[in-house]
């Protein structure tokens, strides 16, 4: 903003509240500090100036920007109340804080005190957990998943548990809802790709028309897809619902026809991981690291040592998962990729 424009702006707002006079010129100057006299000559046509001074604000209006008093020919008027203003309100900030958008001055950082060295926790090497033996009273392998429950009724090789049946039905309903969300997301992506192709520069009118028709067909397909109907109830099964011999054990039921106790991971048989174990081992020796519990978990897998009740709880995803399924799906696919 040029000096002449600033003077005109102050003269227009001299009767408004002091807060408005202080806030708006500073913002206007920040937004237009790149403008020069070549961009704006600082003059205003007589028709753009108010015919009379603006009236003083009422007490209720003491805090207002008075953007409606800006001359229509000023670009600030559009940015304060027009389409650009509405678009700016709808857009999300790239940074969480405008103050943190720019890096701190190196001279300021140089005056900051150096952080104190971290003193590592001293913890002994806990050792691996003991292997889980076959539960006393449990039938031999293979164990059907229904047999884990106290209400299981067996007839020969047929085993039926009402609890397990309820769990299977709940999981089937949840899986169908996720499949519906995936189908809708796939259709949306296909439709958006077709819409983007239809507006590419250089297309002939005939090609653009065909792509638009394709996008409309995909939109119709997207709308015709069944809506997801996830389960709304939460199922909870405490340990007491299991057979006595199955309680207190974490069962691997990846194959529901052959369940067996899950064994704890060890340094010699660790789970899949991304941590570079040799790196931590080498630098632990160099630094004299004394948190051996942390080093053990790096080698054998994280162990929360939780005393949870081992209850089985089934609850569908948060509603935000359904509303923002596409980014959630991308994140899940990335985390569960085989080569991760």
Mean pLDDT within 141-166 = 93
Each domain of the chain, given as residue ranges in start order, spans 3-90
Instruction: Give every CB contact of residue 79 below 8 A, 6+ residues apart in sequence.
Output: 31, 85, 88
The pLDDT value given to residue 123: 82
CA neighbor of 163 nearest in space, from 263, 262, 311 = 311
Place 135 in a pLDDT band, splitting at 50, 70 and 90. very high
Indicate whether 48 pLDDT > 70. no
Place 70 in a pLDDT band, splitting at 50, 70 and 90. confident
Phi, psi of 252 (to 5 degrees): -85, 110
The pLDDT value given to residue 121: 79
Q: Which of 5-19, 78-92, 97-111, 313-327 has the lowest mean pLDDT?
A: 5-19
Percent of the chain at pLDDT above 90? 27
The pLDDT value given to residue 75: 75
Bridge partners (DSSP) listed for residue 154: 159
Mean pLDDT within 301-316 = 86
Average pLDDT in the chain = 78
Tokens of 120: 């590592």
Q: What is the pLDDT of residues 171-205, one digit of tens each?
A: 999 999 999 999 999 999 899 888 888 888 888 88
Instruction: Give every CB contact of residue 325 below 8 A, 6+ residues apart in sequence.
Output: 181, 184, 185
The pLDDT value given to residue 36: 38
**What gap in Å lies between CA 190 and CA 27, rounded to an integer?**
43
Place 320 in a pLDDT band, splitting at 50, 70 and 90. confident
**What gap in Å lies between CA 308 and CA 316, rounded to an integer?**
20
The pLDDT value given to residue 33: 40
Bridge partners (DSSP) listed for residue 260: 252
Q: What is the pLDDT of residues 248-292, one digit of tens each?
A: 999 999 999 999 999 988 888 888 777 888 899 899 888 888 888
């Amino acid at each position: 903003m040029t000096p002449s424009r600033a003077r005109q702006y102050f003269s227009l707002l001299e009767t408004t509240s002091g807060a408005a006079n202080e806030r708006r010129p500073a913002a206007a100057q920040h937004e237009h500090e790149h403008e020069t006299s070549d961009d704006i000559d600082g003059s205003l046509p007589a028709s753009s100036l108010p015919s009379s001074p603006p009236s003083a604000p009422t007490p209720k209006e003491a805090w207002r920007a008075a953007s409606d008093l800006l001359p229509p020919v000023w670009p600030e008027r559009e940015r304060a109340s027009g389409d650009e203003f509405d678009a700016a309100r709808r857009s999300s900030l790239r940074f969480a804080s405008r103050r943190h958008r720019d890096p701190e001055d190196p001279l300021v950082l140089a005056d900051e005190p150096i952080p104190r060295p971290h003193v590592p926790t001293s913890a002994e090497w806990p050792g691996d957990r003991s292997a889980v033996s076959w539960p006393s009273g449990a039938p031999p392998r293979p164990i059907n998943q229904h047999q884990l429950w106290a209400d299981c009724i067996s007839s020969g090789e047929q085993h039926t548990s009402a609890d397990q049946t309820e769990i299977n039905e709940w999981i089937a309903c949840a899986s169908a809802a996720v499949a519906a969300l995936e189908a809708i997301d796939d259709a949306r992506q296909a439709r958006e790709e077709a819409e983007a192709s239809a507006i590419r520069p250089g297309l002939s009118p005939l090609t653009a028309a065909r792509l638009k028709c394709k996008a409309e067909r995909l939109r119709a397909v997207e709308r015709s897809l069944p809506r997801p109907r996830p389960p709304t109830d939460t199922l909870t099964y405490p340990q007491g619902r299991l057979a006595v011999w199955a309680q207190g054990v974490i069962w691997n039921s990846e194959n529901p026809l052959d369940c067996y106790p899950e064994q704890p991971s060890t340094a010699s048989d660790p789970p899949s991981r991304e941590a570079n174990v040799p790196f931590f081992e080498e630098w632990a020796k160099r630094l004299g690291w004394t948190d051996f519990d942390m080093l053990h978990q790096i080698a054998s897998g994280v162990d929360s040592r939780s005393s949870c009740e081992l209850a089985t709880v089934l609850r569908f995803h948060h509603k935000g998962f359904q509303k923002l399924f596409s980014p959630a799906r991308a994140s899940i696919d990335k985390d569960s990729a085989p080569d991760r």
